Structure formats: structure tokens, C-alpha cells
Structure 1
């Protein structure tokens, strides 16, 4: 199984410092929906793994989150693709749960659901915590410069060669999700 694990906010849809609180505020980044559809059509199992502390903070409720995810799923299906599952952490940063990235709990749940190891899976994120969760499971790390990606790039160990690492592990850097998929499918 070829597994691709995608963060949501800042990778698939526009992010906001005030949290995405409704399906109306959930706006895809240009090319991201088509990129997911292409990845799915190429035989990848596409899974979303996202921290959603806005639930714990009371900024939106479960119905709002489900409406956002229904919109995402419908858009991808309309483009000819499929999202196999969406995993989310509903906890706040001080709840000390095991599913909030940078901890690998969401990836553990993905492994259990699909009966597959996440090592060598593609993990696409825009924040350091996304990459750290993927690193803990041995994923191939891809950073997109959308969302918080530019800030995250500054946190990585970049060499003069333009290659980047996180704890001595390579991180490939891409302009956006569409560029990641272009590389994977080339």
C-alpha cells in the first residue's frame, strides 16, 4: 500500500490564526483538491491527519468540523479522487493527549485502521509538529511552503546546498501540495 498522510490546515486549505471555524471559512488552496485526486487515482491511500484544538477551545463544534470534512471529501470526489480517512485530534495543547502532533498518536491510529506501518509513507505538512510526528514513525517528510511552511523552513537545519534536515533526516521542500504530487508521480 502506498500511503500519503496529509495535514489539513495550511496544506489542503487556507489556514487562519483565528482558526477555520465553519465550512464557509474552509477554502482550499489552489490546486490542492486536484492534487489529492491525482494522488488517489495513482493508487495512493490518502489520509488526512490534523490537529483541531478549536474543538477543545469551543471555537466550533463537532457538527462544524464534520461539515468542513464533508466539503473536503465532496470536492475531492468531484475531482475524481478519494480520501480514505480523516483523523483528527480534538484536544487542546495542554490536554497531554497522545494524538496531538508532534506526538505520533494520529499516525498510530492510521497504522491500526489500515493495518500498515507508516514508515516510508509520505507525510506532507506545513509545520514543525507535522514533520516531528512523521519523523517519529519513519515517514518521508515533505514540507510545503503554504500555510506556516515559510516559518517552518526557518526552523529546519538548511545547508548551503538547499537541502534541509530535521534531526539529521531529510526534509523535501515544495511550494505546495500540487508540487509534491507532481514529484511523486513523475
Structure 2
């Protein structure tokens, strides 16, 4: 049975974008972010995170740091009965200082690779799915994958999301 999904960008949507966040001690949730994830869960949506993590390619931190932060975020969400179905990140960048990460990747937004990979792995109803991002490249990736994108520019994330969930349910 196909279900709709909410794809969240991470930095600037779920957590404050304070520049290359990879340490638990430096992550600050956006107001209403955890509640937004729970609202999507409660509405029966898959919830995914799709995030460019060029700090890996720039040598600022390692993939293990990204994965540990995502595990911590997931653990924090379980405390309010919420969950992320999958975290996807792209460590690649064409100007990487770490050679193995120096490439153009279809997983790096604005390319739709992370979204497409999730669409292949999960039974997602694309027509009722949305992406919440804070940059035009997020919306470009959504459009390229056939998902409706919405630009989040601040405020309480759950209040931003709830009307969008209701709108998609009416379609």
C-alpha cells in the first residue's frame, strides 16, 4: 500500500543552520521541528531527511559523525513518539579537498538522487508527497523527482507543515 511522504531538508529546516553542524552539542532544533515530524507520522506519512553534507568532502568531519548525529536525532524524536523512516545524506562535492568525495553526484541537491533512492526503497505515493526545504536547490530536487516542494523560511515548523498535510489529504 502506497503512502505519502514528507521529505525534510535538515539544516535550516529541522535544525538551525549554524554552519556544518555535526556535533550533538551544537545541534539546535528549529521551533516545532520535532512536533512537525510527529504530525507527519500521525497523519500516516513516511518521514525522510535528505541533506547535503559537503562538510565531509571539505574534511571538516567524517561520515561517522553525520551518522552519529542522525542516530541522536532519531533517539530524541522517539522521546515524543516520533520517528524518521530514513536519513539520506550526500557527502560529495565537486570541489572536495578529500579526493574520494570529489565528484559530481546525482545524490547532491539540486539533483534528485537522494529522493529517487528513497522512492525506489519505499512504497511512496509521489502525488501526495511533499518536500520542505529552506533553499531553492531543495525545491529543484523535489521538482526533478516529481514531488511538490515548499520553501520554509522560519517560524514554527509544525504550524507551517500542518496545513500542507491537510491540503494533500483533500487531493
TM-score (structure 2 length as normaliser): 0.85
Unaligned runs of 5+ in 1: 147-174
The whole-number CA distance in structure 1 between the counterparts of 2:74 and 2:129 is 21
Q: Does residue 29 in structure 1 map to residue 30 in structure 2?
A: yes
Q: Higher helix proportion, which one?
A: 2
Q: Higher strand proportion, which one?
A: 1
Q: What is the root-mean-square deviation in Å for CA atoms of aligned residues?
A: 1.6
The 5 A counterparts of 1:38-57 are 38-57=39-58
Offset at 1:43? 0.8
Q: CA offsets, 1:94-149, max 9 Å, x none?
A: 42111100001111101111143634411100001100000112212211103xxx
The 5 A counterparts of 1:32-181 are 32-94=33-95, 95-116=103-124, 118-146=126-154, 175-181=155-161
- Aligned with 1:182: secondary structure? helix
Contact 1:2 1:44 in 2 (8 A): yes
TM-score (structure 1 length as normaliser): 0.78
Q: How many residues align?
A: 157
Q: Residue in 2 aligned with 1:182?
A: 162
- Aligned with 1:24: secondary structure? helix
Higher RCO, 1 vs 2 (CA within 8 Å, ≥6 residues apart): 2
